[in-house]
A = this chain, B = another copy of it.
């Protein structure tokens, strides 16, 4: 079954929405793309980059006549933008989103929509540490995964259409409940980001001379953390605030484990350390086997070590 959308409306024209539009355009799968953003300058830039054919800061106008509307704002703004664009929705319009949390998006957005059978919350698990329209690129979703979390009310045909859209740009699509999504992402994405933000912040508090040395020897391991700690601050603020129970639960487990490791170091429990480090090596093999790790070749510039 082929995918094509006559008119696509983007609420937000940043990395994810921008890349989606570029990916569909590259393949000739979209008629017209209308982009909406809060600031005129962002809209103008998105048009200039070819992400959308025309743009506006008026959200209700942006969705007029659109077949598919994609919410691509930080997750904390989803309810507000839905309220603003809802009056402009055509009866045929499917509404989806690309937010990294799902239960909160449903809670925020659903009350504003005229027809929940056409609401398909989604989350393409792809991205970079960059943000904004200039960060968008057409191949972002190739060989990635996308999770859809339809509601009990959602029409399976609407879900199927959004599924086709993500498959068309190169992603494998899974379905689960919003709550299950939020628990899985808490450990695979939210906790890692929180940890990375913390350790990079700890370094930021070192005196300046020490900092410059940290930069110099960052290849020893620190570098791996700085990349994800460079992700969009507002987006991540919203993720943590909107997936609080799952994040705090995973953080609790992590802290317990960290304290246990700290104790093993303090009391010279070499065997305990070696056991843990041997188990974690196996996990890496699992990730590599699942095709979710980019295994660097020896010639790569980021071969790192202690």
Give A residues with C-beta under 8 Å from B. 15-16, 76, 100, 125-129, 137, 139-140, 143-145, 147, 174, 184-185, 187-206, 210-231, 233-241, 244, 247-248, 250-251, 253-255, 257-259, 261-262, 265-266, 268, 270, 273-274, 276-290, 292-294, 296, 298-306
Partner of A303, one of B76, B140, B226, B277: B140
A197, B304: Cβ atoms under 8 Å?
A: no
Task: For A218, give its contact among B137, B188, B198 (CB under 8 Å).
Answer: B188
Kindly list chain B residues whose C-beta atoms are within 8 Å of the C-beta of A259. Answer: 255
Q: How far is the CA of A241 from the CA of B233 in the complex (A)?
A: 36
User: What are 24 A-B pairs with beta-carbon distances under 8 A?
Assistant: A125-B217, A125-B219, A125-B306, A128-B304, A184-B213, A184-B217, A187-B214, A188-B222, A189-B217, A193-B306, A195-B199, A195-B258, A197-B261, A198-B254, A202-B250, A226-B287, A230-B281, A231-B281, A247-B265, A248-B265, A255-B255, A255-B262, A293-B302, A294-B301
Q: How far apart are the CA atoms of A81 and B284 in the complex, in Å? A: 31
Do residues A220 and B283 form an inter-chain contact, with CB atoms below 8 A? no
Contact A218 B290 (CB under 8 A): yes
Cα separation A257 to B206 with both chains bound (whole Å)? 12
Which residue of the partner chain, among B229, B239, B284, contacts A280 with CB atoms under 8 Å?
A: B229
In the assembled complex, the CB of A132 is this many whole angstroms from the nearest CB of chain B, namely 13
> Do the beta carbons of B241 and A268 come within 8 Å of each other?
yes
- Are A305's CB and B265's CB within 8 A? no
Smallest CB–CB gap between A55 and chain B, Å?
23
- The CA-CA distance from A268 to B280 in the complex, in Å, is 33
Taking the closest CB of chain B, its distance from the CB of A211, in whole angstroms, is 7
Contact B306 A185 (CB under 8 A): yes
